[in-house]
Structure 1
Amino acid sequence: MSSQPLRPGDPDRLGEYELVGRLGAGGMGTVFLGRSPQGRPVAVKVVRTEFIRDEEFLGRFRSEVSRARQVPPFCTAEVLGADLDHEPPYLVVEYVDGPTLTDVVRERGPLSPAALHSAAVGIATALTAIHGAGVIHRDLKPGNVLFALGGLKVIDFGIARPLEATSQHTRTDQMVGTVAYMAPERFDEHPGLRLGPAADIFAWGAVVAFAATGRTPFQGDSAPATAMRILTQEPDLAGLPTPLRGIVARALAKDPADRPTARELLDLLLTSGRSATPLPVGEVPDDAGRPPAPPAATVTPYGPAGDVVAATGGGMRPRRRGRVLLAAVVLLGALAGGGLLVAHRIGAVPNGAAQTSGLGSAPTARVTSAAAPRSAAPTPGTAPILAGTRRTLIHFVEVDRDLAMPYPDEVVTSDGTGPDALFALVPAGVDFLIQSQAPAGGEPPCLGAKVLPGESAELVATECTPTKATLFSVTATGAKDDKGRPTYTIYNDAHGTLQWRERKPQVYLEFLGDADTGTTFSFVDRGPL
């Protein structure tokens, strides 16, 4: 993980730890690169200023630190120290120097069968240790899996919670995590009452599927559509080798009770074969000689009082239909209106199109109207743009200007009337390439980042190849512009948030840390591609 220089106002020391750079920022606070008195690099997580008077948050933070100290460090970032009485409080953990699973898949494509099995075992081992200490990770995703010298590490316990403190420390109107890796129970009416270690097992299945194919197993054309697939559809596991495919299918069961525990998952992986032959779509794996996982979507007609009677390996038992339907209704209304606090990235694959970004070649169909009703879209008119089927203006909300890219290498703002202001958001996994639609000879260029002296990067025209410099995430803010269009932030993992500098007119990228995002965007439909 690369660091950025410290900014004016940043501390240069906390306790015995010298701070030498910034590693990133999140909902809980800022993470600094530090150095111990022995010269060992460490990551120092500092609580955000606005939270240091929030007793609920501090209680959650104290619980996190207490439990995280009990997690064995062999597959996780070791907790090295903390000062909970300091203002602001901070936590010191092992600095893990290595690329994330997201980076590896983006740059090199899906993992080989041998590397995939090794990663699956490593993550399951980490979950066994985490759950054994009474902690739920809650945000297991490829970005929190690091390939370090000496082995794989699962990091970021910033939103892990003690098992018995879940309902105490998490309000029912809050959800923390990334939609594509969330278990169905995360979308329940009262998620804190049901959330347990099984939610991490579901996330494990989604992460392993991503590592194997470069796509998530429930990928839809928006976050709400993805969530609806998680609630109502079977996962797309085409391309996973046997018997791993069967194990992943069991981990992705809709009902938490049908998923293995972390220990059982690890046993399945260690005793299974390592066949590298992908299964054809629709073929049922033998799951290393074990009975196949119960098909979550295969049910008998409704039983008494609205129950669904589902077939399981042990016979018939009732399931509540009302809970799933209520969860779907709550999900659609809340996500469409921005009511749930969900950290997510919006990604999609055009209808019938195969991914050609190097992240996997198996086609992923868009969600049909039966699986994701129109009301599940983030807002009318936005979903086709995010699906990569429409041209769009990228409108700077705060300055009432539009992004433009006069060919071949200049990125500016304009009044949006010229062809150089037309773009397409080309889905690439969970991120996007932003491709110019201005008429020009040859392949139209994409936006890319060029590093500037200091902390920021400027935007330039470059080849449309998925790299750290050209992949952008698009995240809804929950607000609207003066025309009633939803607004978004645009972010590049390697260089930061897309911004507009007024005093010296320039479009640039910068890591903002705790600072507010000063630039947001809305999309203006300009017709089909």
Structure 2
Amino acid sequence: MSVRLRPGDPARLGGYEVLDRLGDGGMGTVFLARSPQGRRVAVKVVRPELSHDEEFRGRFRSEVNRARQVPPFCTAEVLDADPDHDPPYLVVEYVEGPSLAQVVREQGPLGAAQLHSIAVGVATALTAIHGAGVIHRDLKPANVLVAPGGIKVIDFGIARAFEATSQHTRTNHMVGTVSYMAPERFDTTSGRPVGPAADIFAWGALVAHAATGRSPFGGDSATATAMRILTQPPDLTGLGGPLRELVSRTLEKDPAARPTARELLDALLTAATPGAAGGPAQLLGAMPTASASPAAGGDGQGQPSMSPGLATAGRVASRRRGWLTALGATAAVIAVLVPAFLFGPQLLRGQSKPDPAGSTPSGSPVTSGPPVTASTPASGKPTASPSASVDPTQGMLAGQRRFLLHVVEIDGDLSLPSHGEVKVGNGTGKDALFVLEPVGVDYMIKSTNPEIAHRPCLGVKVDSEGYKSLVGAGCRPTKATLFTIFREGRDDKGRASYSIINEEHGPVQWSPTKKEIFVEFLGDAPLDTTFSLVDRGAV
């Protein structure tokens, strides 16, 4: 939908020629533009009041980097961004098609075939988004575009930069639409981050809306809707068939009781396969739970606590991280099971204008490859399937293999001696072996040295002068012990290299002057410390 340019609208943004105004949203204005190569793109310009907020710019840069690594099937590809422009902007693939919100508003609830196609398409997008370490945070019908070639999910991940900025975390000021917010998003006192399970809740509310034309928690006001989300079961009247039970599972109050995106997609594909035994509910019922409920020691976010009593839950979480890497195979299955005609003519019915409120979206921590499979014997501890073919890199990222944490630029390896101060050495000895513990979309990095029983995980320590060092810490998921791992390239031996970043304190770096590892945000300076994971066998 074109609403024409207005006085004061930019003629150019960086190298992009602005052609038209597509609409305004909660995060800024969306323009249709032409790239230097002549491609039509959508440019989202951030609200002017954020232009001089350095905290926002830093988070915006971080989230854009994550979003650019989401595989582009079923999502609008992130093409470019300039966090330092005044105002900052984001460039994404231009998708010609109405939003799901517009389709339902103009044509009414979807039929069974179209509904299942939308459900599968959005679940595929979430699998890709979560697999790249991104959380959408604002999934809703307005952020799902229905194009002739298939659906495209937009605005993924970028909401976090807005929500996490200090001036935008005031009471009653959250990024998102209340009808699609998970219960945990209303709990501002817990201090726990919103996890991928919040997107799964939004998926359930979105599918219910597409099936019935209304919210499953609809109230007379935003406050009433929020109270129903917190206290009442969803109203799924009008939603039948195999999707009903699956949607009900995704709308559980407890995040740990919801399926992961990969489990959700597997259940949908099983239901779509002719002759498949059981349906979505039966498939999900047979899957292990990623973490315990708060009463059993979990954190309520689908993230297991790392106490010894929940070691099994941690291993199941590791296995799930492995499942999230099977994106290439998933795309091929989608192409067979969900033909484009279910998205195109059946849904569009001659409509071709994009929705003005949703025409554009807002290093990869897991490499693609064959899925990691495991079995769960009577002991409750998952073991690798004898027939599974596990790529070593994938196994390390899934928490199933030990490794040396090699500092590429100085050809050294981190070690955690029993005294708890991280050193750089030659990679020999038991204090140089580590294993990853996946926690949501982040990791804890744990030493396998049996002599370190009380502080085996890496954490950030801040001294009285503000200097941040890497030390041994207790294995509890906190702001000091959670790290994001971004794919950067390859080292001189051809191994994948990564940056390791603590969101609260900054990237892990090597100091050439002090000859030690430290942690600090660099501002606009390039990151000059990367790490490769040198495989040292199964855990």
How far apart in 2 are the matches of 1:71 and 1:316? 30
In 1, Cα distance between the equivalents of 2:244 and 2:273? Answer: 11
Partner of 1:42: 41
Which structure 2 residues correspond to residues 245-394 of structure 1 after superposition, within 5 A? Answer: 245-273=244-272, 287-290=280-283, 318=295
Work out whether residues 29 and 47 of structure 1, in 8 Å CA contact, stay in contact via their aligned partners in 2.
Answer: yes
From the superposition, tell whether residues 195 and 70 of structure 1 become closer, same or farther in structure 2 (CA, over 3 Å).
same
- Which whole-Å CA distance do the structure 2 matches of 1:5 and 1:316 have between them? 51
Shift of 1:168: 8.4
Q: Which residue of 2 aligns with 1:122?
A: 121
Q: What amino acid is aligned across from residue 110 of structure 2 in structure 1?
A: L
Q: Secondary structure at the match of 1:22?
A: strand
Pairwise CA distance, 1:190: 3.0
Find the residue that maps to 2:32 and give its secondary structure: strand
The change in CA–CA distance for 1:45 and 1:181 in structure 2 (over 3 A counts) is same
Which residue is 2:32 aligned to? Answer: 33
Q: What CA distance in whole angstroms lies between the structure 1 residues aligned with 2:189 and 2:271? A: 37
SS at 1:64 equivalent: helix
2-side partners of 1:146 and 1:167: how far apart?
28
> Corresponding residue for 2:241?
242
In 2, Cα distance between equivalents of 1:291 and 1:29: 39
Q: Distance in 2 between matches of 1:293 and 1:52?
A: 49
For the structure 1 residues 264 and 221, does the alpha-carbon distance in structure 2 shift closer, same or farther, using more than 3 Å as the test? Answer: same
The whole-number CA distance in structure 1 between the counterparts of 2:58 and 2:191 is: 16
Q: TM-score, normalised by structure 1?
A: 0.51
Report the AA paired with residue 230 of structure 1.
Answer: I
Asked if 2 retains the 8 angstrom alpha-carbon contact of 1:45 and 1:91, the reply is: yes
Check whether the contact 1:172–1:192 (CA below 8 A) recurs between aligned residues: no
Deviates more, 1:28-37 or 1:168-177: 168-177
The 1:286/1:493 distance shift into structure 2, 3 A limit, reads: closer
Deviation at 1:77? Answer: 0.9
SS class of match (1:272)? helix
Q: Quick check: 1:56–1:169 contact (8 Å CA) kept in 2?
A: no
TM-score by length of 2: 0.51
CA distance in 2, matches of 1:137, 1:19: 27
Amino acid at match of 1:22: R
Aligned partner of 1:226 in structure 2 is 225
Q: Deviations over 1:280-324 (max 9, x none)?
A: xxxxx9745347699xxxxxxxxxxxxxxxxx999998379xx9x
Q: Which residue identity is paired with 2:271?
A: S
User: In 2, Cα distance between the equivalents of 1:235 and 1:78?
Assistant: 33
Q: Distance in 2 between matches of 1:199 and 1:191?
A: 15
- Alpha carbons of structure 1 residues 167 and 29: separation in structure 2 relative to 1, 3 Å: closer
Whether the aligned pair in 2 keeps the contact of 1:114 and 1:274 (CA below 8 Å) is no
For 2:192, what is the secondary structure of its paired residue? helix
- Aligned residue number for residue 112 of structure 1: 111
Q: Mark the runs of 5 or more structure 2 residues left unpaired by the alignment.
A: 301-350, 359-539
Instruction: Pick closer, same or farther for the CA change 1:26–1:235 going to 2, 3 Å.
Output: same
Paired AA for residue 289 in structure 1? Q
Structure 1, unaligned stretches of length 5 or more?
Answer: 276-284, 295-311, 324-467, 469-491, 495-529
**Structure with higher RCO (Cα < 8 A, 6+ apart):** 2
Contact 2:48–2:87 under 8 Å retained in 1: yes
CA distance in 1, matches of 2:292, 2:59: 41
From 169, 174, 177, the equivalent of 1:171 is: 169
Aligned to 1:102: 101
Counterpart secondary structure, 2:73: helix
Report what 2:23 is aligned to: 24
Q: Distance in 2 between matches of 1:48 and 1:73?
A: 26
| Offset at residue 100 of structure 1 (A) | 0.8
Measured in 1, the distance between the counterparts of 2:284 and 2:68 equals 38
Match of 1:147 in 2: 146
| Partner deviation per Cα, 1:468-492 (whole Å, 9 max, x = no partner) | 9xxxxxxxxxxxxxxxxxxxxxxx9
Secondary structure of 1:175's match? Answer: coil
User: 1:107-129: CA deviations, max 9, x gaps?
Assistant: 11111101100000000011111
Q: CA deviation at 1:244?
A: 0.8
C-alpha displacement of 1:6 = 1.1
How far 1:218 sits from its partner (Å)? 0.8
Contact 1:99 1:148 survives alignment (8 Å): yes
Alpha-carbon distance in structure 1 between the residues aligned to 2:190 and 2:146 = 31
Q: Contact conserved, 2:267 with 2:284, CA < 8 A, in 1?
A: no
TM superposition shift of 1:34: 0.4
Task: Report if the CA contact (8 A) 1:31-1:43 is conserved.
Answer: yes
Partners of 1:65 and 1:315 lie apart in 2 by 32
Cα pair distance change 1:169/1:255, threshold 3 Å:
farther
Change (3 A) 1:191 1:34: farther
Per-residue deviation at 1:27? Answer: 3.3
Contact 1:64 1:158 in 2 (8 A): yes
> How far has the Cα of 1:149 moved from its partner?
2.4
* 1:449-468 alignment, distance < 5 Å: none
CA contact (8 A) 1:100 1:145 kept: yes
Give the corresponding residue for 1:14: 13
Q: Which amino acid aligns with 1:171?
A: T
Give the Cα–Cα distance (whole angstroms) in 1 for the partners of residues 286 and 249 of structure 2: 5
Whole-Å Cα distance in 2 between the matches of residues 46 and 316 of structure 1?
A: 41
Residue 274 to residue 3, structure 1, CA distance change in 2 (3 Å): farther
**Do the aligned partners of residues 71 and 287 (structure 1) sit closer, same or farther apart at CA in structure 2, a change above 3 Å counting?**
closer
